[in-house]
Amino acid sequence: MQPDFRDEEPPFQEDSERSSQTLAFAPQSDDQERKLRIRLGTSFFLFGLINNILYVVILSAALDLVPPATPKGIIAFCNIAPSFAAKVGWPYILKGRIRYTRRLVGCCFCSVMGMLVVSSFEGLGMRLLGICLASFSSGLGELTFLQLSTTYPIALAGHSVGYFASGTGGAGVGGAGLWWELRSLGVKRGIAICGFLPFVIPLAYFFLLPPATDFQGVVGTSAAYAAIPTADPSETPAEEFEESEAQASRGPKIRVSLSAADKLRLVRPLLLRYMLPLFWYRSCEKAPLLNDFRALQIEYTINQGIGPTLIYPVPSPSTHSFWGLFIKSVRDYYPLWQLVYQTFVFFSRSSISLGFPALPANLLGLPALVQSFVFITLSTESAKGIFPDDVGTTISLVFLLIAVEGFCGGLAYVNVFYRIGQEDHPEESDSEYDIERKKQEREFKIGSIGVADSLGIMLASLLAMPTEIGLCKAQVARGKDLCRTL
Contacting residues for 194 by C-beta, under 8 A, at least 6 apart: 53, 54, 57, 115, 178, 182
pLDDT the model gives residue 202:
95
pLDDT digits (tens, 9 = 90+) for 223-274: 454 444 333 333 333 333 344 444 433 344 567 777 778 877 877 767 666 7
The lowest-confidence range among 226-230, 350-354, 430-434 is 226-230
The lowest-confidence range among 146-155, 210-219, 354-363 is 210-219
Instruction: Kindly state the average pLDDT of the residues 156-167.
Output: 92
pLDDT the model gives residue 11:
38
pLDDT digits (tens, 9 = 90+) for 183-198: 888 888 999 999 999 9
pLDDT the model gives residue 400:
95
454 pLDDT band (50/70/90 cuts)?
A: confident
pLDDT digits (tens, 9 = 90+) for 166-183: 999 888 788 878 887 888
The Cα 14–Cα 20 span in angstroms is 10
pLDDT the model gives residue 115:
92
pLDDT score of 75 more than 90? no
Share of residues in the chain with pLDDT > 90 (%)? 22
451 pLDDT band (50/70/90 cuts)?
A: confident
Share of residues in the chain with pLDDT > 70 (%)? 76
pLDDT the model gives residue 367:
81
- pTM beyond 0.85, yes or no: no
3-state secondary structure the chain: CCCCCCCCCCCCCCCCHHHHHHCCCCCCCHHHHHHHHHHHHHHHHHHHHHHHHHHHHHHHCHHHHCCCCCCCHHHHHHCCHHHHHHHHHHHHHCECCCCHHHHHHHHHHHHHHHHHHHHHCCCHHHHHHHHHHHHHHHHHHHHHHHHHHCCCCHHHHHHHHHHHHHHHHHHHHHHHHHHHHHHHHHHHHHHHHHCCHHHHHHHHHHHCCCCHHHHCCCCCCCHHHCCCCCCCHHHCCCHHHECCCCCCCCCCCCCCCCCHHHHHHHHCCHHHHHHHHHHHHHHHHCCCCCCHHHHHHHHHHHHHHHHHHCCCCCCCCCCCHHHHHHCCCHHHHHHHHHHHHHHHHHHHHCCCCCCCCCCCHHHCCHHHHHHHHHHHHHHHHHHHCCCCCCHHHHHHHHHHHHHHHHHHHHHHHHHHHHHHHCCCCCCCCCCHHHHHHHHHHHHHHHHHCHHHHHHHHHHHHHHHHHHHHHHHHHHHHCCCCHHHHC
Instruction: Kindly state the average pLDDT of the residues 369-389.
Output: 88
110 pLDDT band (50/70/90 cuts)?
A: very high
pLDDT score of 205 more than 90? yes
Decide which of 439 and 377 is more confident: 377
